[in-house]
Structure 1
Amino acid sequence: MTSSSPLQTSRLAMVLQVLMVLLIIAYPFAVWLGLNNWGIGILAPILIVVFLLRLLTFRGKLSQFTALGKIIALSGVILAAASWLLHETQMLLYYPVAVNGFLLLLFGQSLFFPPPIVERLARLAQPELPVRAVSYTRRVTQVWCVFFIFNGAVALYTCLRGDIALWTLYNGGISYLLIGLLMGIEWIVRKRIQRG
C-alpha cells in the first residue's frame, strides 16, 4: 500500500477547494434545479454535505475572510438543515441574503476598526501604500458596503416574492453580473488614479 505524497495531497485539497467554490457559485441554479427535479428531501442533504465540505476546506487570504467563509458555510448548513427538517423550501432562498449580510458586517466593521478590508487586501500585494491609496481603499470599502446593502435587499425581495425563477435569475445571474461590473469599474478607476 502506497501513501500519498504531500504534493498529491496539496493538489487534491486545491481541486476540492475549486470545486467547492464552483458549487457555491452555482448555488441558485442547484436550488432551482433540485427543487424542480428532486424536492427538498434529496436537495437539502446534498447541500448540507456541500456546505460542510466548504466549512472544512475554506482558506482565505486574510484571517477575517477565513472566519467569514466558515460562518457563511455554517449558515448554509443551518438553512439547508432547517429546510430539510421543516420541509420548508423557502429557507434555502435566504442563503444569498445571509452572504450579503455577513459581507456587509465584515466590510462595515473594518471602516470603524481600521484598516478597511480593501486596504488589507491591497497591502498583500503592496505593503507600502501611499496616503492617496489608503484613502482610496477606504472609499472602495464604503462602495462595497453600499453594494451589499442593495444586493442583499434585492435578494431579500426575491425571497419574499417566492418566485423561484425570479430568485434564480437575480441571485444566480444578475447579482454576479453586478459584482463583475463593480469590480471592472473599480479596476478602471484604480488604474486612472495610479496613472494620475
Structure 2
Amino acid sequence: MKRLIGLGLLLAGVMYPFAVYFGLAHVAPWQFGLLLGALWLARAIVTRSPGSQWMAIAALGFCALLGLSDSPALLRWYPVLINAFMLALFGTSLLRGMPMAERLARLREPHLPARAVRYTRRVTQVWCVFFLVNGLIATALTLWAPLSWWTLYNGLLAYIAMGLLFAVEWRVRQRVRGRP
C-alpha cells in the first residue's frame, strides 16, 4: 500500500503541470487540492518517518489553502513546494546523519570506502544546488510567466535537467570507480 501511494504521488507530481494546464477549464482548483490532499494524507498515514511527517503536514497545509482559496494562481506553487521539500531533505541530511546520496548508495553497497563517502557528500551537495536552482526557476515562472511556459518547464524541461544530472553523475561515478 505504501508503494502504491508513493507511486500515486510520483505520478501526480509528474503529471501535475499538464493536469493544471489542460484541467483548469474542467476542474476547479479546490478539486486539485482535494485530490493532492488525499494522496498526502494517505502517505502520512502509511509512512511513519519524521521527515515524511513534516512534509505531509506542509503539503496538507498547502492543499487546505488551495481548497479554501480555490485560487488558480495557487495551483502553480506546487512544484516550488516539492523542490523546497527535496532541498530540505537533501540539505538537512548534510547537517546531521548520513547524506542522502550515501544512504541511497548504501542500499546497493553497504560498506562504502571513505573515498566513496566523500563522493556521496559532494553528490548530495550538487543535488541541493539543483533543487535550489530548479525551485527558483519554478518560482520565477509562477510569478511572471504565462501558464504555457510554466507547464513546459515544470512538466518537461525540469525532468530533462534532472535526467541529465543523473546521467552526468552516473558517468562521473564510473570514472571515480575507475571504470571507462
What's the TM-score once normalised by structure 2's chain length?
0.85
1:46 aligned partner: 35
TM-superposed CA distance for 1:178, in Å, is: 0.8
Aligned 1:102-181 pairs, distance under 5 A: 102-161=85-144, 163-181=146-164
2:75 aligned partner: 92
Structure 1 56/177 Cα, relative in aligned 2: closer, same or farther at 3 Å? farther
Runs of 4+ in 1 over 6 A off after TM superposition: none
1:195 aligns to what SS in structure 2?
Answer: coil
Q: Structure 2: how far apart are the matches of 1:150 and 1:143?
A: 11
In structure 2, the gaps of 5 or more residues are none
What is the RMSD of the two structures over their aligned residues, measured on CA atoms?
A: 2.3
Residue deviations 1:71-109 (CA, integer Å, cap 9, x gap): 434333322321221232222221211221122122222
TM-superposed CA distance for 1:28, in Å, is: 1.6
Q: Structure 2: how far apart are the matches of 1:25 and 1:67?
A: 24
Q: Percent identity?
A: 40
Q: Structure 2: how far apart are the matches of 1:115 and 1:34?
A: 41
TM-superposed CA distance for 1:40, in Å, is: 2.1
Structure 1 49/110 Cα, relative in aligned 2: closer, same or farther at 3 Å? closer
| Count of equivalent residues | 179
Q: Structure 2: how far apart are the matches of 1:114 and 1:75?
A: 22
TM-superposed CA distance for 1:15, in Å, is: 4.0
Larger-gyration structure (1/2): 1
1:99 aligns to what SS in structure 2?
Answer: helix
2:165 aligns to what SS in structure 1?
Answer: helix
What's the TM-score once normalised by structure 1's chain length?
0.79
1:4 aligned partner: none
In structure 1, the gaps of 5 or more residues are 1-11, 60-65
